[in-house]
Structure 1
Amino acid sequence: MDKNLLNLFHDSFNHFLESNLDNILNGVAERNLCARLGLNFEFNFQKYGLEGYYADAEYNRKQGGEVKTILDNETEIIPIQCDLIIHSRGGIISNDNLIAIEMKKSGRPEEEKIKDRKRLRALTKESYDDIWSNDGITLPEQVCGYDIGIYLILNITKRYFDIEYYFKGKYITKTQKNF
């Protein structure tokens, strides 16, 4: 995993926790929390040398304004909308997709958490058909190639986030961050 991107995440997430503790404890919607986290990422982009990148909450577009899609296990095309993504909006084709983040409150149904995990595995795959050459010109039809996937599971009562990391289509490890 890219250490620079992990450091960007940790810096941004720590500042998010400090500056949004009231929102977190008041139980505001995941969409609001992801948007606030996105602002912290954008604040840090220059520090990490990431000119031309954006932090977009609930982003669902790809090249040409088409709806983003992934393939499920049965190779069915599924529209996708990730909670927060760090990407170049297609502007830096050779390294467009950096970080995909899903967030869920711990009390949500397990089926929702399973879908989020599947989405992160799909988004962090290098390609869907193992053929995409990343020639710097052509983008893949299905969204993939995120360097890191991060799943944030918020437990407000116990005041912590479980943080799961995904890389190259696989779950890697889990940590916990108290607030």
Structure 2
Amino acid sequence: MEISRSTVYQLFEDAFTRFLVKDAASIRDNTAERNLCGRLAMQFENLLPSYSLEGYCADPEYNRKQGGKIKTVLLDNTEVINVTCDLIVHSRGEKGRDNLIAIEMAKPDKTAEQIHSDRLRLMALTKKSFDDVWSYDGVTHPEHVCGYLLGAFIMVDRVNQIASVEFFEDGAPKANRRAFAL
């Protein structure tokens, strides 16, 4: 089954909306980012079957790829870095279309450098490939992790009671930012 980008966007919106409703108190109480990502992961896990995405998982702080190797990305086609994304929705290498959603979450107290690093990571993770070669046979995976259909940078601002989302596709930010009231 081919998974469309519009399906992945809808899954994100459904999970994120449920998260904002169910965990608004945790957001207002300034709960740790790791906890918030875990709570958002639960919403994805609950919704995956209704999107016919059995076999996919929502994993916070996941840092492995096929064969248990440490996940890496290639920045600017020169620098290989280890990567741990705040939250990913993927099949843990079990399906041909493995990587669906990569999420980085931040609060306003993150430095500009940390935010820039999160955004670069999402650009790298949503890039189709690093060497313009991609095997989609379900067996051969690229050396570096890429190919996520959707990236999302979430800024959770408890003081202003808003969560903003910047989306990434094909290695670039998109113009479709969204804001959600808390």
Q: Is 2:68 aligned against 1:61?
A: no
Matched residue type, 1:156: R
The structural deviation recorded for 1:73 is: 1.6
Matched residue type, 2:108: S
For the residues of structure 1 that align with 2:58 and 2:26, how far apart are their CA atoms?
A: 19
Q: 2:151 aligns with which of 149, 152, 160?
A: 149
SS in 2 for 1:33: helix
Q: Which residue of 2 aligns with 1:175?
A: 178
Structure 1 residues 26, 77: closer, same or farther in 2, change over 3 A?
same
Matched residue type, 1:41: F
Q: Are the aligned partners of 2:163 and 2:181 in contact in 1 as well (CA < 8 Å)?
A: yes
The percent of aligned pairs where both chains have the same amino acid is: 46
For the residues of structure 2 that align with 1:147 and 1:86, how far apart are their CA atoms?
A: 10
Matched residue type, 1:19: K
Q: Which runs of 5+ in 2 are unaligned?
A: none
Structure 1 residues 74, 130: closer, same or farther in 2, change over 3 A?
closer
The structural deviation recorded for 1:107 is: 2.2
Q: Which 4+ residue blocks in structure 1 deviate beyond 4 angstroms?
A: none
Q: Are the aligned partners of 2:135 and 2:141 in contact in 1 as well (CA < 8 Å)?
A: no
Tell me the alpha carbon deviations over residues 31-59 of structure 1, each in whole angstroms, 9 at most, x when there is no partner.
00000000000000111110100000000
The structural deviation recorded for 1:74 is: 5.2
Q: Is 2:151 aligned against 1:163?
A: no
SS in 2 for 1:100: strand
Q: TM-score, normalised by structure 2?
A: 0.95
For the residues of structure 1 that align with 2:17 and 2:141, how far apart are their CA atoms?
A: 33
For the residues of structure 2 that align with 1:68 and 1:101, how far apart are their CA atoms?
A: 15
Q: 1:48 aligns with which of 41, 51, 67?
A: 51
SS in 2 for 1:44: helix
Q: Which aligned pairs between 1:9-158 and structure 2 lie closer than 5 A?
A: 9-73=12-76, 75-92=78-95, 94-158=96-160
Q: Are the aligned partners of 2:135 and 2:142 in contact in 1 as well (CA < 8 Å)?
A: no
SS in 2 for 1:85: strand
For the residues of structure 1 that align with 2:145 and 2:164, how far apart are their CA atoms?
A: 25
For the residues of structure 2 that align with 1:78 and 1:107, how far apart are their CA atoms?
A: 24
Q: Which runs of 5+ in 1 are unaligned?
A: none
Q: Is 2:32 aligned against 1:5?
A: no
The alignment's C-alpha RMSD in Å is: 1.0
